[in-house]
Amino acid sequence: MTINKPKLHSGSGDTDEASPQQKKSWVPTVLIIVAIAYLALIQYIPAINVFVQAFSKGIGPFFANLVRADFLNAAKLTVLLALIAVPLNTVFGLCAAWAIARHKFPGRAFVLSIIDLPFSISPVVAGLMIVLLYGRNGWFGPLLESHDIKIIFAFPGMVLATAFVSMPFVAREVIPVLEEFGSDQEEAAKTLGANDWQTFWRVTLPGIRWGLLYGLILTNARAMGEFGAVSVVSGNIANTTQSLPLFVEDAYKQYETEAAFSAAVLLALLAVVTLILKEIVERKTSIKEVE
Amino acid sequence: MTLSQTAEVEARDPAWKTFFRKVIQLPWTWRITIVYLIVMLLVPIAAMFLKASTETPARFWEIATSELALATYNVTFVTSVLAALLNGVFGTLIAWVLVRYDFPLKRIVDATVDLPFALPTSVAGLTLATVYSDNGWIGSLLAPLGIKVSFTRLGVWVAMVFISLPFIVRTVQPVLQEMEHEIEEAAWSLGASQWQTFWNVILPPLFPSILTGVALGFSRAVGEYGSTVIISSNTPYQDLIAPVLIFQRLEQYDYSGATVIGIVLLSISLVLLLGINLLQGWARRYDNK
C-alpha cells in the first residue's frame, strides 16, 4: 500500500535517504511477523484447537454428543433466548436511536452513556441485580411467589439476563447511521402525505438497513453466547435451565471434555458466521467501529 | 385543547405538573425507550444500591475490604491492567500493520481480530484452558520451563489478554487510517530517523486513542467472567477473581456479601465509563486537524 511512497523522495540517489529505505525492507516484515505471532498465540491456535479437540476421536463421537438429550435441550434454550431477546432489543434500539438521533436536547451525551451501561457492567453483577430484584428475597420476590411465578432459576430470568447484556448493540449501531442519513427524506415523505409508519417503513428503514443488520448480528451473537449473567440467574440445572454456553462449562467440569468441545464447535461456528456477516455488512457500508 | 389553552394551563401549574404533562405527551418512541431503560436497567441498579444501603457503612466497609475481597481485587484489577497494557503495545502494533502494510490474507487477519467479540466466553475459556494446560499445544512447551499457565493467575491474565485485544485494535485503527502520511514524509525529509518519526510525529496524536482502547479493554477484562472462571482454578488468594467471589457468595445465599462486592465492581465500572468518555472527548480533539 503506502509503504512504497517514500521512494519518491529517495529517488535522488542521496545516500542519507537511501539508508532508511534499506531499513524499511525488513522493518515491515518483522512487524507483520510479530503481529501474526501474537494473534496466533492468543487467538488462532486456541480457535483451531476447538475444532481439533471436537473431532479428535472422529466424526462419530462428535455427532453422538450432539444428539444427547441435555445438549439438544441446551441448544433449544439458546435459540429461544435469542428469539426473545433480539426482537425486544431491536424494538428498544430503534426507538432509542430515533429518539436520540432526531432530537437535540440537554443531557444527550448522558443518555447515550446510560444506554452503554450494560457494556461496562460485569455480567455477574448484571445477574446479581436481577436476582436482587426478582429472587426470593428480592423486591418483587414475595409478590411473584404469591402468584406462583418463578423468574430466578427459570427461563424468564434467563431472558432478562440475556436482554440486559445485549441491550445496547442495535441502538449503538443505528444512531450514527440515522444521524448521517439525515431527516430530509423523511420530511419530504411527510409533506407528500405519508404517515409516521409509512415514513419509517418506506424511507427510514431502507436507509438504515445495514446499520440495523450490523446491530442485529452483534445482538444475536451476544445473546446466544452470554455466559456470566445467565449462569447467575439460571441456577444451571441440566435439561431445564442450561443454555449452550452453560452446557460447555458444565460438561468440561464433569470431565466430559469431548461433549464440551462438541458444543463449543457449534458456538464457534456461530462466531465464524457472525464474523463473516460482519465483514459483509462492513464492506457494504465501510463502517468500522468498536462496540 | 388548543395551543394557547395548553400554555395557560402550563403557566398555572407547578413545575412538576408541567414536566409530568410533557412526559405524558412524548412520542411513543420516547416512551418505549424510557420505560425499557427504567425496567431493564435503572430499577435493577436501584435495587442493588438499596440492598447495599441496608448494611451500615461500617459493615459495608468491613465486607468490601475483607482480606479475601482485597485479594480478589488484586487479582482482578492488577491482572486486568497488565493484560490491557500488553495489548496496548501489541494492539497498536497490529493496528499499524493492518493499516500500513499489505500481506497475504490481510483481510482475514483484519476480520478475525473481532473473534473475542463473537466467540462465547465459555468457549474461549474452555479452549484457552486446554491450549495452555500442561499437556496442551502451547502449555506443553512452557511446562518444561516451569511455567504453569492454566489454573493459575497467569491463565487469568491470558484470558484477559484474549478478551481485551479487539478494543485496542479497533480504537487505534481508524485514527491511524485517517492520519496523513504526508506528516511522516515531511519528518523523514527533514532528516528524522524512523524511530524519531514514530516517537515524535506518529505517537502523540495516536496516544489518546491508545489510552482509550486500553481503558476499554481494562474495563472489559475487569468484568470478564466466562473465560476467566474456566481457565482459573478459583483458589482464594491465588487466582480467584472478584466476579467469581460474587458468584460464590450468591451460591451461599450471602446476598449482602455478593451485593457489597457487586457495588465495588459496579462503581469502578461507572468511574471507568466516565473516564473513557472524557478520554474519547480528548481523542476527538485531533479529528479535525
8 Å CB contact of A271 and B123 = yes
Q: How many CB atoms lie within 10 A of CB B23?
A: 11
Cα(B64)–Cα(B260) distance, integer angstroms? 6
8 Å CB contact of A248 and B30 = no
Q: What is the pLDDT of residue B10?
A: 54
The pLDDT tens digits for A134-170 are 998 888 888 898 999 999 999 999 999 999 999 999 9
> For the residues A36-56, what does the mean pLDDT come to?
95
Segment 191-230 of chain A within 8 Å of chain B by CB: 218, 221, 224-228
8 Å CB contact of A133 and B44 = yes
8 Å CB contact of B216 and A290 = yes
**Which DSSP category does B120 fall into?**
-
Confidence of residue A6 (pLDDT cuts 50, 70, 90): very low
Q: Is the dihedral of CA A247, A163, A274, B206 positive or negative?
A: negative
The pLDDT tens digits for A79-120 are 999 999 999 999 999 999 998 988 888 888 888 889 989 998
A22 against B45, higher pLDDT:
B45
Q: Measured between CB atoms, which of A91, A96, A248 is closest to B122? A: A248
Q: What is the pLDDT of residue A42?
A: 94
Residue of B nearest to A31 (CA): B97
Q: What is the pLDDT of residue B5?
A: 57
8 Å CB contact of A122 and B224 = yes
8 Å CB contact of B123 and A42 = no
8 Å CB contact of A290 and B122 = no
B40-55 as b/e: b if 16+ CB within 10 A: bbeebbebbeebbeeb
- Minimum distance, in Å, between the CA of residue B223 and any CA atom of chain A: 4
- Which of A253, A209, A259, A249 is CA-nearest to residue A225? A249
Cα(B244)–Cα(B253) distance, integer angstroms? 14
Q: What is the pLDDT of residue A287?
A: 52
Q: What is the pLDDT of residue B286?
A: 62
A191 against A1, higher pLDDT:
A191
Is A167 near chain B, with CB under 8 Å? yes
Interface probe for B, chosen from A4, A24, A43, A214 (most Cβ of B below 10 Å), is: A43
Please give the grid coordinates belonging to residue A39: 494473534
Does the complex come out with an ipTM higher than 0.85?
yes
In the predicted structure, residue A13 carries a pLDDT above the cut 80: no
Q: Is A193 left (phi over 0), alpha (psi -120 to 50) or beta?
A: left
Cα(B87)–Cα(A83) distance, integer angstroms? 35
Kindly list the residues from chain B whose CB atom is less than 8 angstroms away from the CB atom of residue A28: 97, 100-101
Residue corresponding to grid cell 485485544: B165
pTM: 0.88
pLDDT tens track of chain B, all 289 residues? 455 555 555 556 677 787 777 777 778 888 899 999 999 999 999 999 999 999 899 999 999 999 999 999 999 999 999 999 999 999 999 999 999 999 999 999 999 999 999 999 999 999 999 999 999 999 999 999 999 999 999 999 999 999 999 999 999 999 998 887 788 888 888 888 878 888 888 888 899 999 999 999 999 999 999 999 999 999 999 999 999 999 999 999 999 999 999 999 999 988 988 888 888 888 777 655 4
Cα(A246)–Cα(A78) distance, integer angstroms? 10
Confidence of residue A15 (pLDDT cuts 50, 70, 90): very low
DSSP assignment string, A60-113: HHHHHHHT-HHHHHHHHHHHHHHHHHHHHHHHHHHHHHHHHHS---TTHHHHHH
Q: What is the pLDDT of residue B159?
A: 97
Helix (H) or strand (E) holding B282: helix B255-284
Kindly list the residues from chain A whose CB atom is less than 8 angstroms away from the CB atom of residue B264: none
- Minimum distance, in Å, between the CA of residue A190 and any CA atom of chain B: 16
3-state helix, strand, coil in chain A (%, to 5): 80, 0, 20
- Minimum distance, in Å, between the CA of residue A182 and any CA atom of chain B: 18
Segment 243-262 of chain B within 8 Å of chain A by CB: 243-244, 246-247, 250, 255, 258-259, 262
Calculate the average pLDDT of chain A: 87
In the predicted structure, residue A24 carries a pLDDT above the cut 80: no
Kindly list the residues from chain A whose CB atom is less than 8 angstroms away from the CB atom of residue B51: 132
Q: What is the pLDDT of residue B44?
A: 95
B26 against A172, higher pLDDT:
A172
DSSP assignment string, A22-54: HHHHHHHHHHHHHHHHHHIIIIIHHHHHHHHHH
Segment 98-137 of chain B within 8 Å of chain A by CB: 98, 100-103, 107, 109, 111-131, 136-137
Q: What is the pLDDT of residue A286?
A: 67
Is B60 near chain A, with CB under 8 Å? no
Q: What is the pLDDT of residue A291?
A: 42
Q: What is the pLDDT of residue A3?
A: 39
> For the residues A238-243, what does the mean pLDDT come to?
87
A291 against A213, higher pLDDT:
A213
Percent of chain A at pLDDT exceeding 70 = 90
Kindly list the residues from chain B whose CB atom is less than 8 angstroms away from the CB atom of residue A224: 120
**Which DSSP category does B236 fall into?**
T
